[in-house]
Amino acid sequence: MIGLIRQVIETVAQLINSKPTALLSIKDQTKGTIIGGWTKNEFVSYNKEISIENTPLEKIIPSKEAHTYPGKVIESLPFPTYKDANKKSNFSCLCLPLLSGEEQVKGILIIAQNRGSLLPSEQLKTLNTILPLIAAILENNLEHEHLVQIATTDELTNLYTRSYFDTRLQEEFTRVRRHGGVFSLLMIDVDSFKRINDIYGYKEGNKALKQVAKIVDSSIRKEIDIPCRYAGTQFMLLLPNTDVDGAYILAERIRQRCETNKVTTQKGATIRITVSIGLTHNVEIAHEDLVDDDSTEQDPNSITEVSKEEVIQRADLMLHAAKKAGRNQVMVWW
């Protein structure tokens, strides 16, 4: 869909003589997303969420009418502001609402203009004729993103699904096979979860799972690490470009945060949560016996890659080892 968005923005840029332009989708009265824009004679793609509270866009959404406001720059793109907020602004922003078939504002097209120099009437007339088309493309793009999110996101925890995780894990294997490198894998399981369900009920058990997922998600590198709900009470965490030492630090951080976190039930009871974690990586280090014969050359650290299935199996073995050792700990496949 980004190809269509790019084509739309490039068409608008040609129509208005390459003036800086931004295309926003509107989520609700307070939030929107900068999808892309035109600046310095080229298309830029962002997909970055932005707050629209206390901005002129708050007025455009309910009025559904175009307005012109003083401009400022956000993410190198034009954005409207109020007069008293930036008196030194040397350009203005023409804000054109993009209406869906139900006459709801799905997006806003923002065009920078020199202060006091408005778009020629012919350009504006042509632009108005293509606004419904832009709105339709934007609405389809939002629907596509929604369907992708449903397919790749676990409904309870908001982490990735297992199928999406398996795809990303295969991509990571392909990457390191071609270019080299290392990644680590954490398999995380909530301890004694059946007991939580038996004592407090499934609703409180789900609350505990959501809390663990929140801790995992807040502990990782955004847009780099891949967290997923793997199966029931199990979570899997793919850590690209992370060796065993770095993965162990993260695993311990997650374990400790779960241990100190408490979940309070609707009846005021406190649920203590712990997790066990199995840690492994994508390389196998074979430590060969050293010999006294100086004429025999030995490489004590020969490194070979292991298969995707082997990595998952080793993480599972380490998780079970952590369970057998008393739970609430991290076990590492060295």
Q: How many CB atoms lie within 10 A of CB 230?
A: 23
Q: CATH number of the domain at 2-152, out of 3.20.110.10, 3.30.450.40, 1.20.140.10, 3.40.190.10?
A: 3.30.450.40
What's residue 289's pLDDT?
40
Q: Spell 154-171 as b/e; 16+ CB within 10 A means b.
A: beebebbbeebbbeebee
What is the mean pLDDT of the segment spanning 26-44? 88
What is the mean pLDDT of the segment spanning 117-127? 85
pLDDT at 8 over 90: no
At residue 243, the 3 state secondary structure works out as coil
CATH assignment, 162-288+295-332: 3.30.70.270
- The count of C-alpha atoms lying within 13 angstroms of the C-alpha of 122, restricted to the half-sphere facing its C-beta, is 2
Q: Look up residue 172 and give its two tokens.
A: 């990571």
Residue 77 in contact with residue 37, Cβ under 8 Å? Answer: yes
pLDDT at 86 over 60: no
Confidence of residue 293 (pLDDT cuts 50, 70, 90): very low
What residue spans define the domains of the chain?
2-152, 162-288+295-332
Q: Output the pTM of the full model.
A: 0.60
pLDDT at 93 over 80: yes
Amino acid at 109: L
- Tell me the backbone φ, ψ of residue 188, rounded to 5 degrees: -115, 135
Q: What is the pLDDT of residues 249-270, one digit of tens each?
A: 999 999 999 999 989 999 999 9
Mean predicted lDDT score pLDDT of the chain = 86
For the chain, percent of residues with pLDDT exceeding 70: 89
What's residue 292's pLDDT?
44
pLDDT at 102 over 80: no
Confidence of residue 302 (pLDDT cuts 50, 70, 90): very low
pLDDT at 298 over 60: no
Q: Which of 186, 171, 169 is nearest to 236 (CA)?
A: 186
> Which residue shows structure tokens 């009418």?
65
Confidence of residue 46 (pLDDT cuts 50, 70, 90): confident
- Tell me the backbone φ, ψ of residue 322, rounded to 5 degrees: -65, -40
Give the integer Cα–Cα distance in Å for 187 and 280.
9
Picking from 30-39, 62-71, 133-142, which range would have the lowest pLDDT averaged per residue?
Answer: 133-142
For the chain, percent of residues with pLDDT exceeding 90: 53
What's residue 319's pLDDT?
97
pLDDT at 320 over 90: yes
What's residue 148's pLDDT?
62
Confidence of residue 135 (pLDDT cuts 50, 70, 90): confident
Confidence of residue 285 (pLDDT cuts 50, 70, 90): low
Q: What is the pLDDT of residues 171-185, one digit of tens each?
A: 999 888 888 889 999
Give the integer Cα–Cα distance in Å for 109 and 101.
17
Residue 127 in contact with residue 16, Cβ under 8 Å? Answer: yes
- The count of C-alpha atoms lying within 13 angstroms of the C-alpha of 325, restricted to the half-sphere facing its C-beta, is 15
Q: DSSP secondary-structure letter at 115?
A: T
> Which residue shows structure tokens 């980004």?
2
